[in-house]
Amino acid sequence: MKGQRMIRMVKRDAISSKKQWMIRGIALVGALLAGAFLILSLGHNPLAVYKDMLAGALGTPTVRRETVKLAIPLLITAIGISFAFQMRFWNIGAEGQILMGAVCAGYFAFFQYDNLPRPLLILVMMLAGMIGGGIYGMIPALFKAKWGTNETLFTLMLNYIALAFIKYLKNGPWKAPHSQFPKMAMLDDRARLGKILGIHWGWILALVLVVLAYFYFTKTKQGYEISVVGESTDTARYAGIPVSFVLIRTMILSGALAGLAGMLQLAGSDYTITESTAGGVGFTVITVAWMAKMNSFGMLAVAVFIAVLERGSNKIQTTFKIPASAAEVLTGMILFFMLGCEFFINYKLVVSKREEAGA
């Protein structure tokens, strides 16, 4: 064997937060560069495309409002799943929880709107949405608590069931009267949310939730319990924490927030329910929560960023005929880079030259 260079990985003891953010920044730039190559390979100028994306998402007050509107469900649902993720409960069923929230709220919005005074109607819709999402989130938690049933796939399957349920509703019992197509009616004005600064007031609710979630995790006993359960169920048991109960309670909360997002989507944005009411939000928020490291303020930033990306992708579809699925591709790439860069935060590479005697 001859003398050769070896690259070894060494665990870092501690790293300044400035350096951490620098590494993340480099990763983001790397992801955007990778995206640029993709755009370039399609024969477009990446700079022009990125610029158009920004303009499409933030250029005018109107598009800015649209972007914020996109960010609302992302943020609220991300906070919701972060509850589960903190507990290492892989809730990837937010999509279904959003839909179930929308359906439960929809029952009152579609069929009870003239029986209730407006503020009460909206309140009931919110509660119904949260209960719907909460129950839908609770089901897999019950089985996880009792038998340790794999929650990743369980929550995921519930997404498809919720989707089929919506299809059933719009084809049958909830089909809009006098409609030729299988679709639900549009909401009556009374069941629609009011606007503040041109956007439905869900955005204020989202901001309040950011602060509440932060305090929940850092200051309350329940938040502390979640952290302990997430670290080790053995430790939790040892500490006298009722693990099953915490699991179920937290998943109800997690699902309820997703359900709330579904209600806001119905009453503030779409004014009806379709298969795309959730529109992949349930998956995208996994990215949001993870990139923000479960910090709710971080999620605020990431949610807005993702919303910009999605709005921007719609814009470039019209300008450059680049399919809007580019948003998913870019989101995926950014998260790949973010996941990868954590390694360089935790480890450093050391190049050591070895010289062997006699070589």
Partner 1 sequence: MNTLLNLAVAAVLAGTPLLLGTLGEILTEKSGNINLGVEGMMFMGAIAGLAAPYLYEQQVLLVGSTPSKLAGAFLALAASFLAGALGALIYGFLTITLRANQNVTGLTLTIFGTGIGNFFGEYLGSQAGGYVALGDELKAAFANLSIPGLSQIPVIGKLFFQYNWVVYFAIVLALCMNHFFQRTRVGLNLRAVGEDPATADAAGINVTRYKYAATVIGGGICGIGGMYMSMVTTSGVWVYNCVSGYGWLAVALVIFATWNPARALLAALIFGGLTVLRLYLRIPGMPMQIYEMFPYIATILVLIVTSIRQSRENVQPKSCGKNYFREER
Partner 2 sequence: MDGHTLDYAVQMKNITKFFGTVTANHQVSLELRNGEILALLGENGSGKTTLMNMLSGIYFPDSGTIKIRGREVTIRSPRDAFELGIGMIHQHYKLVEPLTAAENIVLGLPGGMYVNRRQVNEKVREISRRYQFDLNPKKKIYSMSVSEKQTVEILKALYRGAEILILDEPTAVLTPQETEKLFTVLRNMKEDGKSIIIITHKLHEVLAISDRVTILRKGEYIGTVETAAATQEDLTEKMVGRPISLEIERPKTQRGEEMLKVVDLTCLRPDRVKALNKVSFSAYAGEILGIAGIAGSGQKELCEAIAGLYPVSGGSILYNCQTDGTQVMENIVGQRSDQIYRKGISMAFVPEDRLGMGLVGSMDMVDNVMLRSYRRNPGIFVDRKKPKEISEKLIRDLEIQTPGVHTPVRRLSGGNVQKILLGREIAYEPLVLVVAYPVRGLDINSSYKIYDMLGEQKKKGVAVIFVGEDLDVLMEISDRILVLCGGKVSGVVKPEETTKEKLGLMMLRVTQDEEVIE
Give me the residues that bind partner 1 (CB under 8 A), please. 8-9, 11, 42, 90, 92, 143, 147-150, 152-154, 156-158, 160-161, 164-165, 167-168, 171-172, 283-284, 286-287, 290, 321-323, 325-333, 335-336, 339-340, 342-343, 346
HSE (CB half, 13 Å, CA atoms) of 282? Answer: 34
Q: How far apart are CA 219 and CA 252, in angstroms?
A: 20
Site membership for partner 2, residue 232 (CB under 8 A): yes
Between 13 and 189, name the residue whose CB sits nearer to partner 2: 13
Between 118 and 348, name the residue whose CB sits nearer to partner 2: 348
Which long-range contacts link 3-7 to residues 24+ away (Cβ below 8 Å)?
3/353, 3/354, 3/355, 3/356, 3/359, 4/354, 5/351, 5/352, 5/353, 5/354, 6/351, 6/352, 6/353, 6/354, 7/349, 7/350, 7/351
Site membership for partner 2, residue 7 (CB under 8 A): no
Q: Name which of partner 2, partner 1, none residue 97 binds, using a CB cut-off of 5 to 8 Å depending on partner kind.
A: none
Q: Name which of partner 2, partner 1, none residue 214 binds, using a CB cut-off of 5 to 8 Å depending on partner kind.
A: none
Q: How far apart are CA 13 and CA 347, in angstroms?
A: 9
| In contact, 206 and 213? CB cutoff 8 Å | no
| In contact, 35 and 283? CB cutoff 8 Å | no
Q: How far apart are CA 201 and CA 205, in angstroms?
A: 7
Q: Name which of partner 1, partner 2, none residue 293 binds, using a CB cut-off of 5 to 8 Å depending on partner kind.
A: none
Whole-number minimum distance, CB 47 to partner 1, in Å? 20
Between 132 and 230, name the residue whose CB sits nearer to partner 2: 230
Q: How far apart are CA 55 and CA 311, in angstroms?
A: 10
Q: Name which of partner 1, partner 2, none residue 117 binds, using a CB cut-off of 5 to 8 Å depending on partner kind.
A: none
Whole-number minimum distance, CB 356 to partner 2, in Å? 7
Q: Name which of partner 1, partner 2, none residue 172 binds, using a CB cut-off of 5 to 8 Å depending on partner kind.
A: partner 1
Q: Which of 266, 258, 259 is nearest to 82 (CA)?
A: 258
Site membership for partner 2, residue 346 (CB under 8 A): no
Characterise 294 by phi-psi region: left (phi > 0), alpha (psi -120 to 50), beta (else): left
Whole-number minimum distance, CB 292 to partner 1, in Å? 13
| In contact, 229 and 244? CB cutoff 8 Å | no
Positions in 239-278 near partner 2 (CB under 8 A): 239-240, 242
Return all residues near 20 (Cβ < 8 A) that are at least 6 apart: 345
Q: Which stretch binds partner 2 (CB under 8 A): 38-46, 136-144, 217-225, 322-330?
A: 217-225
Choosing from 122, 130, 205, 228, the residue that interacts with partner 2 (CB under 8 A) is 228
Q: How far apart are CA 66 and CA 314, in angstroms?
A: 12
Between 11 and 178, name the residue whose CB sits nearer to partner 1: 11
Q: Name which of partner 2, partner 1, none residue 9 binds, using a CB cut-off of 5 to 8 Å depending on partner kind.
A: partner 1
Between 225 and 270, name the residue whose CB sits nearer to partner 2: 225
Choosing from 5, 7, 11, 17, the residue that interacts with partner 2 (CB under 8 A) is 11
Site membership for partner 2, residue 352 (CB under 8 A): yes
Return all residues near 259 (Cβ < 8 A) that are at least 6 apart: 97, 98, 100, 101, 102, 104, 105, 129, 130, 131, 132, 133, 134, 136, 137
Residues lying near partner 2 in the complex (CB under 8 A) are found at: 1, 6, 8, 10-13, 219-222, 224, 227-228, 231-232, 234-235, 237-240, 242, 352, 356-358
